[in-house]
Structure 1
Amino acid sequence: MNPDELVATLEEAGLSPYQSDAFVTLLERGSASATDVAQASSVPDPRIYDVLRGLEDRGYVETYEQGSLQARACDPAGVLEDLRSRATRLESAADEIETRWTRPDIEDHAVSIVKRFDTVLTRANELVRSADHQVQIGLTPAQFDALEGALEAALAGGADVKVCLFPETADEPSLPSTERLARTCTEARYRRIPAPFVALVDRTWTCFAPNRHSANEYGVIVNDRTHAYVFYWYFNTCLWDVYDPVYSDRNEHAPITYVDIRECLRRVEPLLEDDRRVEAVVEGFETDTGNETTVSGTVTDVSYTGTAGGEGGSVPITQFAGKAAFTLESGSETYSVGGWGAIVEDVEAVRIRIDSAA
């Protein structure tokens, strides 16, 4: 049901046209000033205060003062009970309100706390399906079944998809077949003990929920690169780095594509130590302007805060927790290339392709 249909149905439930429009606007915005509600809806400025107070009298919204009159949608339990007693179309409107509503803080925020895991799963489905660059997701086989279509769409759209599977309980689950994994991910790994659900999309969005058997059911939806970076390290250290692949479509020889600079550095550093010439193409953003850029050339050096691993061993991912970058020489230009959250480097890499290592 689109917003116009929802407004029309609420009118049938007894709200005035202005009340219906204002209420749907608040559902979409969470909390807003009276002025902002008027500007985002069809309610005239002189009428907005009467409209909001009328909605408050009916238990649809609550108002409060914060410099100016503010409003936010109330817990919709009472509204839902009333609407669900009506005809089929009103039942559809009630479900739509329940789907759209999450109780916001008084101030805008980048982190939403929701009460139901289904809300987290629904949002993860939407975000994964629209991923541009990368998806990192930890989930049970049952949750994999629910998100299989979204994962398949992300992979088909060119995103790099990492899947960590784990059981919901201590019992060993039946893992998806190789054919299903090939349609849905770039690489999959398996952790033998239960874990929370987590999905990271394009370095910005995170959906998180505890294991379904935990004492409390809740979820966290994050739209913020800094917060997402914390979940990125949780995924890498607890769900990924210490487990072996159960499926992988990654090349062993060039060309090899990476969306994580830390994985790239682990591969490139031994090549440079062997005096190999490493040619690379980097897609990303200029850190000073934010503009998209593509640069190519020869990797001449790598640098990271930690220390190298033992002889013949791979460097643990934790050694890249600080600075992680490489130098790329392209003709007369030299670029420093960093990863997620790069600030001092010239380029924040989103995708790195190693074309040759001769």
Structure 2
Amino acid sequence: MDVDVVRKSLQNAGFSQYEALVYVALVRRGAASAVTVAEESGVPKSRVYDVLRDLEAEDLIETYKQDSLHARALSPDSIIAALREQANSFSEAADELRDMWEASDLDDHDLTIVKRFETVVERTKSLIRTAENEIQLAGTTAQYDELRPVLHEAYGRGVFIKLSLYRPEGSRSTIDTEFEFENTASEVCSRDLPTPFVALIDRSQTCFAPQRGSGYEFGILATNRPLTYVFHWYYQTSLWDNWDVVYSTRGSSPPITYVNIRQCVVDIAPLYHEGAIIEVRAEVSDTESGDVHAISGRVVDLVYTRSRSANIYPALSDISGQVSIFIDDGDRTHSLGGWYAKVEDFELRRLTIESIEMGATDDGSSD
């Protein structure tokens, strides 16, 4: 029996040092004279009487006269319950403290490994609430259901939202054309294979965790553009390109909006090479200063792999390297690149095709 542990726990619960010593001595003996209690507890005789009266006032002991003052301990049930409640409170506080640490705001260019999947989801919710331009999310239909309220809010702010969803076998959630993605997502694809949870926010924030049941329990939270770029390609090639799109807000007629320059080039290259006049409006960031600008004008050139040959119907694999769109705003021609644009004037954030006019002649006029 570790008496010292009990005494220290009682002191942590609010007992004074002398109260803890006297109370433990009485609980161990059941009943004893004040003199005996003082001797066994080590509390001075001049103080033990006051301590006994204080404990009696708390209904923890009772005193009585025999030949001298005696005391007996009452049932310790109330103290046991209080100690257990305090232990639970300490355990909960420890868990909350750990959660706060794992979910704390990340500094710029920071990378954090967390243990709980819930921390990754909560971080994702927080980032979605502040998203400005683009969200790429991969997860299960149940995870989509949980994130749907904040995705709806982001969509209402004009954020482009791409979802890659998996419905686990036996799940009540479904993925089909009747599923309600309206006002929540821009594009949705359906997967029949489980994959990790991935959320990419505004090309700079990454949230990642293996799916539950994989045998691994950890998460990655990063504010890091290079790492997000790597995850973007994983998302594009493994979680998007090979799966069926079941919902899209992108129509076949303008206005048509893109956040991915490569997908834009795949779609407009055949039209451009057939002589179409394509008028666009783009939101871009300066590759040197990072300042955001708006550019409007006509597409006057496309540069991508084999773009100078007969490759007028490129696939995404054909433009996995450098890709550029050149826009003439009437005063000058601007070059737009994708993520980490280096040789172009601007990095494309979002491009909207405002009009497409077919049948252009050699002098630039339309038939």
Say whether the 8 Å CA contact 1:309–1:316 is kept in structure 2: no
Q: Which residue type is aligned with residue 357 of structure 1?
A: I
How do residues 5-154 of structure 1 correspond to structure 2 at under 5 angstroms? 85-86=85-86, 93-102=93-102, 110-154=110-154
How do residues 153-164 of structure 1 correspond to structure 2 at under 5 angstroms? 153-164=153-164
Tell me the equivalent position of 2:80. none
In structure 1, C-alpha distance between the alignment counterparts of 2:177 and 2:186, rounded to whole Å:
14
Tell me the equivalent position of 1:230. 230
Tell me the equivalent position of 1:27. none
In structure 2, C-alpha distance between the alignment counterparts of 1:122 and 1:186, rounded to whole Å:
22
Secondary structure of the residue aligned to 1:198 is: strand
How do residues 243-282 of structure 1 correspond to structure 2 at under 5 angstroms? 243-282=243-282
How many residue pairs match? The answer is: 276
Cα 1:344/1:310, change in 2 over 3 Å: closer
In structure 2, C-alpha distance between the alignment counterparts of 1:155 and 1:216, rounded to whole Å:
32
In structure 1, C-alpha distance between the alignment counterparts of 2:197 and 2:308, rounded to whole Å:
32
Secondary structure of the residue aligned to 2:183 is: helix
- What stretches of structure 2 of length at least 5 have no aligned partner? 1-11, 15-82, 358-367
Say whether the 8 Å CA contact 1:237–1:317 is kept in structure 2: no
Shift of 1:261: 0.7
So what's the TM-score if we normalise by structure 1?
0.69
Tell me the equivalent position of 1:344. 343
- The structure with the largest alpha-carbon Rg is 2
CA RMSD of aligned residues (A): 3.2
Tell me the equivalent position of 1:31. none
Tell me the equivalent position of 2:218. 218
Tell me the equivalent position of 2:355. 356
Say whether the 8 Å CA contact 2:190–2:244 is kept in structure 1: yes
Per-residue CA distance 1:294-341 (angstroms, 9 max, x = gap): 1111101111236799989x5332322211111111112111001111
Tell me the equivalent position of 2:302. 302
Tell me the equivalent position of 1:188. 188
In structure 2, C-alpha distance between the alignment counterparts of 1:318 and 1:85, rounded to whole Å:
61
Secondary structure of the residue aligned to 2:180 is: helix
Cα 1:173/1:325, change in 2 over 3 Å: same
Shift of 1:129: 2.2
Secondary structure of the residue aligned to 1:355 is: strand
The reply on whether 1:332 has 2:331 as its aligned counterpart is yes
In structure 1, C-alpha distance between the alignment counterparts of 2:317 and 2:273, rounded to whole Å:
21
Per-residue CA distance 1:223-252 (angstroms, 9 max, x = gap): 111100011011111111122211111121
Tell me the equivalent position of 2:28. none
Tell me the equivalent position of 2:167. 167
Say whether the 8 Å CA contact 2:131–2:154 is kept in structure 1: yes
Q: Which residue type is aligned with residue 149 of structure 1?
A: P
Secondary structure of the residue aligned to 1:245 is: strand
